[in-house]
Amino acid sequence: MIQKLIDKIRQTSAPICVGLDPMLDYIPEQIRKRSFAELGETLAGAADAVWHFNKEIIDCTCDLIPAVKPQIAMYEQFGLEGLKVYEKTVRYCQEKGLIVIGDAKRGDIGSTSAAYAAAHLGKVKVGNQYCSAFDTDFLTVNPYLGTDGVKPFVDVCGAEDKGIFVLVKTSNPSSGEFQDRLIDGRPLYELVADKVAEWGSACMDGVYSNVGAVVGATYPQMSVKLRAQMPHTFFLVPGYGAQGATAQDLRHCFDAEGSGAIVNSSRGIIAAYRQDKYSKFGAEHFGEASRQAVIDMVADINSVL
Amino acid sequence: MIQKLIDKIRQTSAPICVGLDPMLDYIPEQIRKRSFAELGETLAGAADAVWHFNKEIIDCTCDLIPAVKPQIAMYEQFGLEGLKVYEKTVRYCQEKGLIVIGDAKRGDIGSTSAAYAAAHLGKVKVGNQYCSAFDTDFLTVNPYLGTDGVKPFVDVCGAEDKGIFVLVKTSNPSSGEFQDRLIDGRPLYELVADKVAEWGSACMDGVYSNVGAVVGATYPQMSVKLRAQMPHTFFLVPGYGAQGATAQDLRHCFDAEGSGAIVNSSRGIIAAYRQDKYSKFGAEHFGEASRQAVIDMVADINSVL
């Protein structure tokens, strides 16, 4: 699966993914009004607005990008109605040829992680049938429980040609609170990185492994070391744009050939129409604003590669 | 909310919760057959079987116990159909007067954790309305992202009188891989424990805080120290029974008054009918087997308090 992502990145010359993390606030009033008029100010109304918002952004950007990264929490907050739209969004993106990275940060003890892996990447056996549920291409995974909590995801990557990105160093302000603490002179996230590389060695797909890592762009000096430490691990890089990181900050997440990483932007793309820079599009043409923001982001990232 | 749980534990004299983690394998054939005959070997068929299984166990045990802990992964693996049954199970348990601990181990960067907190504990604003989604009483939370990833859950605990249990030391075999590593001479899980106590201090509800901790019963020597380290933190204790821990092992999770902890058992209760000890009940009467297993577990735990 990672090779498929790398190929799509080459085809589009765009090492980026669009974070489909639709806060209701981001959705232009005309869409919200229409959905609320039809379905009320309810979870169903909110989910309907999210769907129409997503569809427009996908339609306006899908020819330019290799992948999207829907954040499942933004759907889960609207309950079953929201999760219906999560599934619909995943299917619609895949129909458009996009690779879908489900950002769910799941992780638990072994038997439970196996259920999450089946839910999001694999299949579940029902009687004599094998059924798929959310069926994304990649999933983000939390490593706090150690090997037996991650292994079931790795196994599904091997069996179904899917991929995962394991949290190594996250982009948020307090990520260092535990992740940066020194153990035998090395930060915890480097120990996690060692394990990610080890788990991934059983799951290679070309130069890179189907087991990737989440490495936040907001801590550039750390990504330099991690890139060297994990030469076969593909990076999913959050933190660009709205979270503060610049293209220069994330340059070292890439390898010498300019591969090895995909950079996410959520708010900076999907709520572009609200920025001064793109205000000329207006809320009516928010999809076009997102398209222009993608073009600008791709040029910005490529300028440092 | 923690006081409500403590009161329910006193009323029932049962410091235990039943883990509603229905693997399809646990469900007696007669139930699976009936659901598959009606809905096929599909996600809907599987979810229907789970619902009938859960309902029988809840009906047979609800007068004996204070709380249940559904593991959302076991529902998520059946996609939307499974999550419908998760929600239905939560509602049914609450109608029966049970406290529901959603075992979801969510955790992300701040804005995303806020969405998870709204999804599972709080409310989400839609237009001028406030809507609830899964609305459990407690939720388990993963701390790997640090304070800004946990704070939104703590805030909802304060605002809505709900509770969380933050992973400190988990019960699985490889939990020590990261959690036990020494930082300035102390294991990581003790540093997490310090933070959990700190987060919880803003959220007291009687002697204990609404911010609790997950402390696995499988590592008894660690729970002795954690109990002393976190005198105002209530423990959710997994690992009893099928995972190997005995009542003696988890004795030190409780305080001097025999309060301060709730012990979970999943397989040992819900699949009791498959144990030799309860085989006399037969698969037809699996609910009665679960009831007897609850009675035996309560007696076993109380024998060490």
Q: Residue B278: CB partners within 8 Å, gap ≥ 6? A: B272, B289, B292, B293
Work out the average pLDDT over A62-85. Answer: 98
pLDDT, tens only, A272-283: 999 999 999 999
pLDDT at res. B241: 84
Name the residue facing B170 among A45, A74, A109 (closest C-beta): A109
Residue B189 has pLDDT above 80, yes or no: yes
Residue found by looking up tokens 């130069």 in the block:
A207
**Residue A257, min C-alpha distance to chain B (Å):** 31
Which chain A residues contact residue B171 at CB under 8 A? Answer: 109
Looking at residue B242, its pLDDT comes to 77
What pLDDT was estimated at residue A214?
A: 97
H-type alpha helices, chain B: 2-12, 29-39, 43-61, 73-76, 79-95, 110-120, 147-160, 176-179, 188-201, 220-229, 247-250, 267-270, 286-302
In B202-285, which residue ranges form alpha helices assigned H by DSSP? 220-229, 247-250, 267-270
**Any chain B CB within 8 A of the CB of A126?**
yes
Handedness of CA B279, B285, B289, B290 (dihedral sign): positive
Written as one string, the DSSP assignment of A63-78 is: TT-SEE--BTHHHHTT
Evaluate if pTM is beyond 0.95: yes
Longest dimension (CA), chain B: 60
Structure tokens, A229:
């430490």
Task: Say how far apart CA A89 and CA A70 lie, in whole Å.
Answer: 8
What pLDDT was estimated at residue A241? 84
3-class secondary-structure state, position B183 = strand
Q: 3-class DSSP state for residue A165? A: strand
Q: What is the mean pLDDT of residues B119-144?
A: 97
Per-residue pLDDT at A243 exceeds 90: no
CB atoms within 10 A of CB B226: 23
User: Which pLDDT does position B176 carry in this prediction?
Assistant: 94
**Chain A: nearest CA to B195, how far in angstroms?**
10
Question: Which chain B residues touch A115 with a CB distance below 8 Å?
Answer: 23, 71, 73-74, 76-77
Comparing CB atoms, the residue among B87, B126, B149 nearest residue A172 is: B149
Question: Could you tell me if residue A195 is left (phi over 0), alpha (psi between -120 and 50 degrees) or otherwise beta?
Answer: alpha
Give the long-range contacts of residues A38-42, CB within 8 A, separation 24 or more. A41/B126, A41/B127, A41/B128, A41/B129, A41/B131, A42/A81, A42/B126, A42/B129, A42/B131
Choose among A126, A81, A77, A75: nearest CA to A103.
A75
Q: What is the average pLDDT score of chain A? A: 96
Active-site annotation holder among A33, A84, A105, A277: A105
Question: Measured between alpha carbons, how far is B273 from B6 in angstroms, rounded to an integer?
Answer: 29
Interface contacts A/B by beta carbons within 8 Å: 230
* pLDDT of A148 above 90: yes
Q: Is A261 a residue whose pLDDT tops 90?
A: yes
Q: Which of residues 186-245 of B touch A (CB under 8 A)?
A: 188, 191-192, 195
CB contact, 8 Å: A86 with chain B? no
3 state SS for A240-292: EHHHCECHHHHHHHCCCCCCCEEEEECHHHHCHHHCHHHHHHCHHHHHHHHHH
User: Do B146 and A172 count as a contact with CB atoms less than 8 A apart?
Assistant: yes
pLDDT (tens digit, 9 = 90+) per residue, A99-132? 999 999 999 999 999 999 999 999 999 999 999 9
ipTM score: 0.97
* CA–CA gap between residue B270 and residue B276 (Å, rounded): 14
Contact state of A178 with B171 under an 8 Å Cβ cutoff = no
Would you say residue A242 has pLDDT above 80? no
- In which residue are the tokens 């199970």 written? B89
Residue A113 confidence (pLDDT): 97
| pLDDT per position as a tens digit, B213-270 | 999 998 889 999 999 999 999 999 998 987 788 999 999 999 999 999 999 999 999 9
Collect all residues of chain A within an 8 Å Cβ-Cβ radius of residue B191: 178, 181
pLDDT in tens, A157-180: 999 999 999 999 999 999 999 999
pLDDT for the residue B295: 98
Task: State how far residue B11 is from chain A, nearest Cα, in angstroms.
Answer: 31
Query: By the 8 A CB rule, do A121 and A156 touch?
Result: yes
pLDDT of A81: 98
pLDDT number for residue A224: 93
Cα angle A127, B47, B114 (rounded to 5 degrees) comes to 135
Between positions 20 and 59 of A, the ones with CB within 8 A of B are 21, 23-24, 32, 36, 41-43, 45-46
Task: Tell me what pLDDT residue B110 has.
Answer: 94
